[in-house]
Structure formats: structure tokens, C-alpha cells
Homo-oligomer: A and B are copies of this chain.
Amino acid sequence: MRPPISLARNVSRALAVVCMMGLLAAPVGANSAGRLAFDFDTGNAIREVAIPAQHDLFLTTVSASDVSLVLRHTVMLNNAWFDATAPYHPTAVGVASRLGRRPPEERVTHRQRNIAILYATYRLLNSQLPQFRQQWREMLLSVGLNPDDNSQDLTTPVGIGNRAGNAVVASRLHDGMNQLGDEGGRKYNRQPYADYLGYVPVNTADTIRDPARWQPNVVTTGNGIFRVQEFVTPQWSVTRPYSYRSPAEFTVPPPANSDPATNPGGYRRQTDEVLAISAGLNDQRKILAEHFDDKFRSLPTTVTHLADTRGYSLDQFIAHNFLVNMASFDAGIATWHFKRRYDAVRPFTAIRYLYGNRAVTAWGGPGRGTVNDIKGSEWRSYMNTADHPEYPSASATICAAHAQASRRITGTDQLGQTVTVARGTSVIEPGITPAADLTLGPWHTWTQWSQECGQARLFGGVHFRDAVTAAQTLGTGVGDRAHAFVVAHLEGRAGPPS
């Protein structure tokens, strides 16, 4: 079942008719000073306007946080784009809104959808990142749109965009993530996204009380200030998913090798495997670890690759992107449910616990290569260890969900992506790694891509093998649910917004 692709055929037929009728207008804004030369009729406002407008601001704020906060931002944007364009689709209904149906002539070109997309983006960004209000105004002004147009008129793309964006904002103000900091009844000095479930780690940064459990790591930017991690948004585990009711619908077995009290042999084996991988790092493995650690490099580029190589229509682009972002978001919620339940130890703690001041053979840190005299207490993972318990791997679950959802919506396991990485562009070993330009992939299939994503978490030294194995099953299950959810909305079969 591939609705966007069948839609594309309809649109292209309709477009041919309208072109003959001479209805295609000239691009808006192309001739005004200081404006983008954006073509509303043929362009893609998401790729050409919305994403460029927020890219740099996003890097310094949202992407400096963690996967829960990043994915909530991106899924809400994609949700807004989906809802803003649903009224122009032959059958689709919005996820957070019901905005009616526009006549077919309004989807002959991209004009109405692009306008709706930009107003929806504007409403969402003003709620999510209000500190950049002026920049969001500039985004609309740059293409000749009026940021003060608060129309709610559902016969116009401005009204549809405004209402779609506002509906998505409203639908998630109290989704469990505590965006307003008001969960738990706090009145003063509210802290957006603060934990209200009362998670307290068993271990401290200084002391391992239980070597089976998560230990917050110490982080620094190198300027002499050291800070201790807190489990980021434990409440993601109870946040409302899009595509299923409760994470308890999924099964993830306990991490069998993470408790030395019950399984000392397994604990040592999985710890020694991480050390052996650390000692065996090469340029290819380091860059693979970095690629899949950076969710902006690894995830959206796959859809962009398909959009470019398979000639996605605007609707296909929106549907596939919403699907993979939502699959990832829902996969993260399920992952967090089990991370919170199992509260499992990270490799750096297990290595300290087993080896302490004894020498091991491992990667010796940036630029040092493999050394045989590094103390267990001095070891660090190649990638930075994220702010949450180890099991299951969030990245691997998200990749598995993203891959399964993509298989479903495209009807094939084929991917065909290759990524080229220039020498010296490593973020962990800048100027050193890779020693020569190298190529990741080719990932002929989603299966290869998802497996390498899981491997990358082992190369990065931030996970044990079991966390990656469990992730594949969990992520695939969520990917199926996410696909069914999007199809139901594309076909207009979905129930009313929650």
C-alpha cells in the first residue's frame, strides 16, 4: 500500500490539464529586493524555505540537547506539514486537526500547500523556539508572506496553515513531555521538560553502588567546568505516542548480561567485547559511529536521497518524512519505557568496575590510537555517552523503526544510499580521521543500513551487543505501527484527533 505514490500519478495527470489551461502563475517574491527566489507553484517550501530558515538556530539550541527533545521538535514540524496539506489531498485527514477538504484545482500546483506549510511552520516555531520570533517573521517575509496574517479562514491556505500549526501545538502542550514545566503542579520557576516522575540514579558519578545500574557520567566542554548527567526527560516514557496506546504493548527481555551478581561471566564477556571493539577501531568504524550518532546526518538524508532519486511528489515527500519522524518518536517513547524499567549500566561504568586501575588494551583517546597501558578508569567511549540508561539502544531502535516504516511506505527494502566523508572531518578526531576520504555504504537495502546503524553503537563504545539486538525487534514493531497510522490518515480512515 503506497498512497503517496498513487497520489503522485493523480497530481501529475491533473497538472498536465491545468498547464494546458494556463493557470500556472508567476513565482511570488522572485522579483522583490531581499526576497528568496522561491517558486510557490513548483517549489518545496519545506526544503527551500522552512528548513534553511531554522537550520543554524536549531543546531545551537535543540540539537545540542538529546534525542527525545530533537525528535519531539522534528515530529511536530512534520506533523504540522502533514496537517497543513491534508485538506488538499484527495483523501487524507490531519493528525491533530480536521480542516475540511479543498477542491482539486487547489492542488494542481504546489502554491496553496506551500503557503499552508509556511504558516503552519511559523505557528509551530513561535511556540517551540519563541526566542527566535524575529527570525521566524523573516522567514515569511523572505518569500513575501505576511507574518501578521492570523486568518483562521479554512477556504484559504493562510487560514489552513495557521489552524494546522496551532492545532499541532495545542495537541502536544500536555502530551507528557512537560514542555511548559507545569506537570506535577509546579507554579513558580517552572522548568520546561523537567522530570516530574522523580527518577533518581542508584549510582552517583563518584560511586558505583550497583554495577548493574546506570551511572551518570561527568561531562565537560574542556573549559574546566565539569557537570554530572541527569537522565534526560525520563517522562518521555509516559509521553503520548502517535501510533500505539502504550509501550507495554511491546516486549523487550531484560538485559541478560548486565548484572554481575546474577551473571558474572556474561557481564565480563559483554564488557570485554566493548574493549576489544575499542582496541580494533579503524577509520571506517570511527566514521560509521559518528555518522549514526548524528541524527541529522543519518536519518533525514535517507528520505532526501529517495526523494531525489525517485522523484517524490510534494505529498510523497511530506508523507514519508512525517512517517519516519513519527516512527522514530514513537520508537523513542518505547525505548525510554524500557530504559527506565531496566536502568542498565553503560560500558564505561562496567569497564571501571571490572578493571579500575588495571591496564587494558583499547583506544587511547583522540589521536592516540590503540594502546595497551590505559587504565580502566581512564577509558572513554569513542562517541560521547548520552544522558540515559543503556538498554535498549535508542539509536538502533530508531534506525530499525525508520527502516521498517520506509520499507512499508516504499514497498521495498531497496535504499541505495552512499555517503562520502572527506578526510580529517571527524568530530572526535578532527584533522586526523579519516586519514583519506572514505565512503560509507553503499547501503543497498534498509536492512544493511539498519544493521550498520546498530553496529555503529558498538563501534562508538556506548552500548553492549544485547542493547542493539533488542532494538531491532522493538524498532521493527514500532515501524509497522507507525506505517499503519500514517496510511489510516492518508486514506481518511483515522478516528478524530486525540
Asked if B227 and A229 sit within 8 Å, CB to CB, the answer is yes
For A224, the chain B residues whose CB sits under 8 A away are 65-66, 68-69, 192-193, 232-233
> Contacts A188-B371, A200-B207, A379-B189 given: A69-B232 contact, CB under 8 Å?
no
- Nearest B-chain residue to A69, judged by Cβ: B224
B230 touches A373 (CB 8 A): no
Contact digits for A126-164, partner B, Cβ 8 Å, 1 yes 0 no? 000000000000000000000000000000000000000
- Given the interface contacts A61-B223, A66-B224, A228-B227, does A188 sit within 8 Å of B364 by beta carbon? yes
Assuming the contacts A200-B207, A207-B200, A230-B228, asked whether A223 and B64 have C-beta atoms less than 8 A apart, the reply is yes
Q: Which of B189, B192, B230, B365 lies in contact with A380, CB distance below 8 A? A: B189
| Alpha-carbon distance between A225 and B187 when the two chains are bound, in angstroms | 20
10 pairs from A and B in contact (CB 8 Å cutoff) = A64-B225, A66-B225, A188-B364, A188-B375, A191-B222, A195-B226, A200-B204, A224-B232, A225-B387, A227-B228
Please, which residues of chain B bring their CB within 8 A of the CB of A62?
223
Beta-carbon nearest neighbor of A232 in chain B:
B225
In the complex, A249 has a CB within 8 A of chain B: no
Pairwise interchain contact B223-A227, C-beta atoms closer than 8 A: no
Query: Chain A, 366-378, contact with B by CB distance < 8 Å: what is the 0/1 string?
Result: 0010010111001
Q: Are A226 and B194 in contact (CB under 8 A)?
A: yes
Partner-binding segment picked from A21-29, A213-221, A311-319, A438-446: A213-221
**A226–B207 CA distance with the chains assembled, in angstroms:** 20
A223 touches B187 (CB 8 A): no
A206 to B194, CA, bound (A): 13
> Which chain B residue has the least Cβ–Cβ distance from A380?
B189
Closest to A371 in B: B188
Q: Across the A-B interface, give the 7 residue pairs with the lowest CB-CB distance, nearest first.
A: A193-B224, A227-B227, A228-B228, A189-B365, A69-B224, A188-B378, A226-B230
**In the complex, per-residue mask of A160-174: 1 if CB is within 8 Å of any chain B CB, else 0:** 000000000000000
* B-side contacts of A218, CB under 8 Å: 230
Closest CB in chain B relative to A133 CB, distance in Å: 13
Closest B-chain residue to A365, C-beta based?
B189
User: A64 — which chain B residues lie within 8 A by C-beta?
Assistant: 223, 225
Nearest CB on B from A394, distance (A): 15
A310 within 8 A of B: no
